[in-house]
Amino acid sequence: MKASRPAAICALLGLTIIGADLAAADDRETAAQRLSGYLQVDTVNPPGNESRGVDYLAGILEKHGIPYGRGESAPGRGNLWARLEGGDEPGLVLLHHIDVVPVHRESWSFEPFSGEVKDGYVHGRGALDTKGLGIVQLQAFLALADSGQPLRRDVWYVASADEEAGGAFGAGWLIEAHPEIFAGVGYLLNEGGAVRQIGEGLAVMVEVTQKVPLWLRLSASGRPGHGSAPQVETAVTRLLRATHRIAQTRFAPRVVPAVAEMFQGLAPLQDESLSSFFEDPRRAIADDEFMLSLQIDNPGTHALLRNTCSITRLAGSAKINVVPARAQAELDCRLLPDQDPDAFIEQLATIINDDDVQIERIMGFSPAVSSADTDLFEAVRSVSDKHFPGALVVPHVSSGFTDSHFFRDLGITSYGYSPFMMSVGESRGVHGNDERISVENLRHGTQVMTEILQEFTLER
């Protein structure tokens, strides 16, 4: 699949080619308008309906004369891919997911799927996670295509389904059904990173690994009966005892190498009271007062120092006056990358200490870490030095998970990278209310992403 690269289309994109450089002269309007249209496409998962998003992205690619492939893993669960052909060096994938999480409309101050551009922001579910990133990747991809300049590696643009539910209908399906996409790929840029203001400084955080999700279901059994005749013990009381024991457990803190590197990289940005703990995280985990304050002030960072389990769902009787024979709870456990899942489940069984409570594995991934010692990481660092002066570029460990684990399992160096600099208030829109992104972030993010592609893919 070979993409045409008519340079004349640059004018439509608002891009200027200066010698060997690709420069976004002003993508402010184009990126914002494209994201606005993308946000109006409802791809809430469940059910997903990502094929609607594929239709939207395909229309943009067709306008620019770029061939693409598309496929459904199930009815309505669409995925899209397009390639710019280059030389023999390992290829690069730009990945984002089309699906978005549900909304509680009554909690929003604007229509979640309006895509309204107002007061310098584009408003709507998916603006940050991850349709905004997908549009910036697309703008940079089109700029590279329209430049007509030779590439030393293939560059792929991939939009996938189902990330918010684990990726089985998206990234997982693409790897199985279309392995040709990834056959020559050595690198991937995905969600998961961020540019953050920390104290008086900036950090460009490039995600290189993540905690491993282990989703579990606890099932307690007992004798059913009438609610008017309480029993000594029931499935519900067994389940409540089991979940209480788990909730009261603080798993032993540990510092894995990737987290140690991240903490030490961020140490210069901490205030005096915290810098010594970040410089020596193994000392930090021995200080109970520090660990408690970190959990209160920054629970996401605290979670990188131990295994965790959150009790998220409970199910019992369908009727208020019936004691059920079975009660269930679901746990969202996140394990440090070096934790053996089977050993962790055995530990939970010991904590629960009840043979009438069974543990079932719903979902789990394998751990993997991408090295920061690569040309792509250096390209990110180089461009960041220009656009975020004085910022520290730090390998980051995520307490959440993304589709990157699928590709790390294939040996593909995968980074979570976002060129957006957001305030804490803006970032709360991810999976929260009133999600939005500034037009300036889109404009600047397109410039940054374009320059990273230029440095990493153009023939020297």
pLDDT at 99: 98
Give the containing element (helix H, strand E) for 210.
strand 201-210
Residues 269 and 198 sit within 8 Å (Cβ to Cβ): yes
- The pLDDT value recorded for residue 133 is 98
What whole-number distance in Å separates Cα of residue 275 and Cα of residue 375?
Answer: 30
Burial 22-47 (b: 16+ CB within 10 A, else e): bebeebbebbbbbbbebbebebbbee
Domains and CATH numbers, the chain: 7-192+402-457 (3.40.630.10), 212-364 (3.30.70.360)
What are 393-451's pLDDT values in tens digits?
Answer: 999 999 989 999 999 999 999 999 999 998 777 888 999 999 999 999 999 999 999 99
pLDDT band at 5 (very low <50, low <70, confident <90, very high): very low
What average pLDDT is seen over the chain?
Answer: 92
pLDDT at 424 (0 to 100): 73
Q: Which two tokens stand for residue 188?
A: 């991937």
Token pair 């040996």 in the structure block, residue: 411
Peptide bond into 47 cis (omega under 30): yes
pLDDT score for 460: 83
Averaged pLDDT, 351-367: 95
Helix (H) or strand (E) holding 30: helix 28-39
What pLDDT, in 10s, does the model give residues 140-162? 999 999 999 999 999 999 999 99
pLDDT confidence of 7, banded at 50, 70, 90?
very low
DSSP 422-445: --HHHHTTTTSSS-EEEHHHHHHH
Q: Is pTM, for the whole model, over 0.75?
A: yes
What pLDDT is attached to residue 47?
97
Cα-Cα end-to-end distance for the chain = 24
Cβ contact 348:246 at 8 Å: yes
C-alpha torsion angle, residues 441, 442, 445, 450 (rounded to 10): -160
Residue 188 host element (H or E): strand 185-190
For 449, the token pair is: 């992403």
> What pairs with residue 35 in β-bridges?
none
Determine how β-strand 21-24 pairs with β-strand 15-18: antiparallel
Kindly report the length of the chain.
Answer: 460
- State pLDDT tens for residues 286-314: 999 999 999 999 899 999 999 999 999 99
Token representation of residue 400 = 């959440």
